[in-house]
Structure 1
Amino acid sequence: MSGGPSLAFGIDRIDDRLADHGLDGHALHEVAAASPALSDDAAATLFLAGLAARFAAAAGTVLWAVTRFDLYAPGLDQAGLSPDHLLFSEAREDNEVLALAEDGLRSGTLGAVVAEVGRISMTATRRLQLAAAEGRTPMLLFRRWRRRALCPLSEPSSATTRWRIRSVASQPLGHAGIGRPRWEVELVRQRNGNPFSLTLEACDDTGRLALPAPARHRAAGADRAAARAA
């Protein structure tokens, strides 16, 4: 089955390492926090919000299905996902969340579907992958921690990509204040490609990640040096 259009991150260090040079818009992608810590959980949530916002920028509504309503709407808005484009759905258990997600995907009317689950079988991930392809809609699955010693991504899955997000210290500012948050973004697995890890600045209000400023400056300097040498 052929993939859909790819959503590029706009960062060469990511896009050049992705098999599709972006995220397949008709496929299942999984995200987990690097630990059960609240800081990592929040980073993974905002990473998902940024992706959903960018997938839905032209297509409209995002369905976000949960079993516990602990989302902070202003935080999602700061990552580019406006409440005006969000449809929340709260279910009693994971199986109901997955059913809601599958129905949303197959409708073909949504910009993206996000679902949060603690437990999911390999068969269920195959169903989501097929539903995403048939509905031509990206499926973003948040794998929540159930046991402290077992990363959710240690379980098998049919996802096209699997991401692990960790909160790291922000860049100190030259004056009093708080710098832009930073995350360690790890691609644990991708179909037809290799894993990698990068430290990036958190999503801005359009859902976009960025290289830390020092890295951008080094890259620009290297480009100028190469141009002079040529």
Structure 2
Amino acid sequence: MSTHDQRLAELRDRVRKIEGAKARGHGVLPFGISEIDARLPGGGLALGALHEFAGGGNGAVDGAASALFTAGVAARTKGMILWCVVRQDLFAPALAQVGLKPGRVVYVEAGNEQELLACFEDALNHGGLGAVIGEVAKLSMTASRRLHLAAERSGTLALAIRRWRRQTEAADFGQPTASVTRWRISALPSVALPVPGVGRARWLLELIRVRSGESADFEVEACDREGLMALSPDPAQRAANAHLARRKAGY
């Protein structure tokens, strides 16, 4: 490596460390799973920062999984949760099953996504909330930067769920944003039971972007009533399911 390349690599390393320290300025929210927390700077989701979540495929099942995963994250914070939507189609009992009790959530129904982003930002600037969740189809760099800065000022956790009404909107998820982490969640076959019935739901979590870190895949058992997940124990099955999820998503 030449002297120039070495200096450039050192500079990039310093920038990553500075960005990582800034993202951790308000502390972190750990998942309590060492394999996941080890991939996140500081050992968890940075508080006072913006994070993005989307379904692994374009179907309603994966979309619901991403909403439940986000609800489980919010459930482990302290304080009230503001959930901003354009269409009110959330099922409160399902959110309660992953730890987010109805008494903790205030819903704001906006007329369109522009109004939703304004409500999202205002709530983050207000502070005093455990988390603010916003469901959006498109999220530009400018809008995401405003949300991240508002979260950074107040220390509030900002969670953006990417929901699409049509296939063409899904391509927007590949565009760069100011989010500290970006996740894709896919539904997997539930945990097998020794008797007839439906076992605990399972998800494939794809950490496709993390500032000052590396991407990774995790197969987990879905959030329980405390918002806690468990890592699925079989590495071979995790690899097979990850391959199936990628095929379903078309990449």
> What is the aligned partner in structure 1 of residue 14 from structure 2?
none
* Equivalences, count: 212
Distance 2:165 2:180 in 1: 22
Distance 1:214 1:159 in 2: 31
> What is the aligned partner in structure 2 of residue 205 from structure 1?
225
> What is the aligned partner in structure 1 of residue 205 from structure 2?
185
Distance 1:8 1:53 in 2: 12
Q: TM-score, normalised by structure 1?
A: 0.88
- Cα offset, 1:152, TM superposition: 4.3
Q: TM-score, normalised by structure 2?
A: 0.81
SS where residue 133 of structure 1 aligns? helix
Identity %: 46
CA RMSD between the two structures: 1.4
Task: Give per-residue Cα distances to partners, 1:62-120, cap 9 Å, x unaligned.
Answer: 00000000000000111111110101000011111111011111111111000001122
> What is the aligned partner in structure 2 of residue 100 from structure 1?
119
The answer to whether structure 1 residue 42 and structure 2 residue 64 are counterparts is yes
Distance 1:104 1:142 in 2: 16
Unaligned runs of 5+ in 2: 1-18, 236-251
- Cα offset, 1:212, TM superposition: 2.1
Preserved CA contact (<8 Å) 1:146 1:152: no
Q: Which runs of 4+ in 1 moved over 6 A?
A: none
The answer to whether structure 1 residue 84 and structure 2 residue 103 are counterparts is yes
> What is the aligned partner in structure 2 of residue 21 from structure 1?
43
Preserved CA contact (<8 Å) 2:95 2:101: yes
Which residue among 173, 178, 181 is the counterpart of 1:158? 178
Preserved CA contact (<8 Å) 1:144 1:152: no
- Cα offset, 1:151, TM superposition: 4.4
Unaligned runs of 5+ in 1: 216-230
Preserved CA contact (<8 Å) 1:34 1:151: no
Distance 2:175 2:197 in 1: 40
- Cα offset, 1:20, TM superposition: 2.2
Preserved CA contact (<8 Å) 2:82 2:108: yes
Q: 1:50 to 1:152 in 2, by over 3 A?
A: farther
- Cα offset, 1:121, TM superposition: 1.3
> What is the aligned partner in structure 1 of residue 73 from structure 2?
51
> What is the aligned partner in structure 2 of residue 73 from structure 1?
92
> What is the aligned partner in structure 2 of residue 222 from structure 1?
none
Preserved CA contact (<8 Å) 1:32 1:152: no
Task: Give per-residue Cα distances to partners, 1:27-76, cap 9 Å, x unaligned.
Answer: 00000011221110110010010001112xx3x11000000000000001
Q: Could you tell me which amino acid in structure 2 is paired with residue 148 of structure 1?
A: Q
Preserved CA contact (<8 Å) 2:138 2:173: no
Distance 1:108 1:130 in 2: 12
SS where residue 199 of structure 1 aligns? strand
Q: Could you tell me which amino acid in structure 2 is paired with residue 34 of structure 1?
A: G
Q: Could you tell me which amino acid in structure 2 is paired with residue 71 of structure 1?
A: L
